[in-house]
Chain A
Amino acid sequence: MIMSIIEILFIPIFLGFVYEGILRKVAARMQNRVGPPIWQPLLDFIKLLSKESFEVIGSHHFLISFLSILAVASLLVIVFTFPFVSLLNFRWDFILVIYLLVFSTACFILAGFSFPSPYPLIGSTREITLLLAYELPLIIILLFFGMSYYSLLLLPENLIVSFPLFFTAFLLITQAKLGYQPFNIGEAEQEIVAGYLTECSGFELAMFNLAKSLRMFIMISLASILFFNFKNIVAFVLSSLIILFFVILLRVTLARFRIDQGFKFLWLVSIPLILIDLIRAML
């Protein structure tokens, strides 16, 4: 029992770091560079843990540490709802997944708001605006699956054949959810330093970076579970890697939207895509 809990906690963290490393390596190869080794995010994580953690004047240091741990914890709870995990029959539903994903993003946003500096403030404000744009299509997709199969459990379905436009919309939402190009509006390096993470250092930054890689693992696994029906772990990881390749491709090739353009794009492109498939499914 204890062993399986440790597995469930450490395998997602490990895979999150590996996916992040693959992302950096493949992105570097796409730009004709050599790129860092695949285990680089793990090295960054340990290095950040060994660094000093600043207490910013005017902010509550304990609150930010707590929020960073909460962001990681809320994402780790999502892993328990995955179909491969059979611990304690701990199966919950789409609504819990939606809630916890928003919760971890809210931790980022609250941490940004708790600093008395303009850059985290702007980053958090932008992230909230973007949250309004990508959360609705995500909820429509997840709840549609739940309603059409009379079950809100996260069950593997082979839906890429019947709902290709859902998959396209889900890829766009994944980019926005992960804060990658073209939706890295909340942490736009060239404009607002590092967005909501500008003032974080040491332990908090390590935890937020871990939360980011975990979020990537979870969004990609969610896409793999919903759209590719693979029963064993190996096929699951392989289909995840295919989705990861699309994520990297979009991240490397596209430029950043302005906040209003990004908002409009998410509403005017992803929601019509979803509606077309919804109407097709009803007919």
Chain B
Amino acid sequence: MLHVIVDDYGDDLKIAEKIRKYCQRKSPWIFHFDTGSCNGCDIELLAAMSPKYDFERFGCLLKGSPRHADIFLVTGPVTRKCKDRLVNLYEQIPEPKVVIAMGACAVSKGIFQNAYGVCGPLDKIIPVDVYISGCPAKPEAIIDGIRKGVEILTRKSG
């Protein structure tokens, strides 16, 4: 659950590698999927796109197709109906990819602890890299989570 951001990449990296990592860090494209959340987190995600927070200044774009995405941002406790679709979408995102669980529901099922139709939390079904807590998560927290996810993305690509 905890992750350490590695700031020093070592001096032996070649210039091309450095350029590639810089570009990966500066242009994370996000694919957002709602697995049965109350829409609170989704609205906060839209708030992070709004003029006040504007995550496009970090190069983030919200993409409609999973094949364009780097970051898979999931909200909501995973309902049974959603489970297969979730795995399907996760597999459609090209490598390297990072999964972010956003909001209390995706992190720990939240208020749906003993609900019969819920088979979450998210990290039981697909590997999760970053957890953003909050109910709903704040736009500042979302931007922070994306930044941390991007650092993991650069390390995943080798």
Contacts and interface: CB of A to CB of B under 8 A. Distances in A.
A89 interface: no
B65 A199 contact: yes
8 contacts: A33-B57, A34-B56, A43-B22, A43-B59, A46-B20, A51-B70, A189-B64, A198-B65
A15 to B, nearest CB: 20
B24 to A, nearest CB: 5
A36 B56 contact: yes
Interface residues of B, number: 25
Nearest to A119: B65
Contact of A52 (B23, B24, B59, B94): B94
Given A33-B51, A202-B94, A40 B67 contact: no
Interface in B20-45: 20, 22-24, 26-27, 29
B68 A40 contact: no
Interface of B: 19-20, 22-24, 26-27, 29, 51, 54, 56-59, 63-65, 67-68, 70, 92, 94-96, 157
Contacts of B22: 43
A60 interface: no
Nearest to A44: B27
A51 B56 contact: no
A52 B95 CA distance: 5
Interface in A17-56: 24, 28, 31-37, 40, 42-44, 46-47, 50-54
A238 interface: no
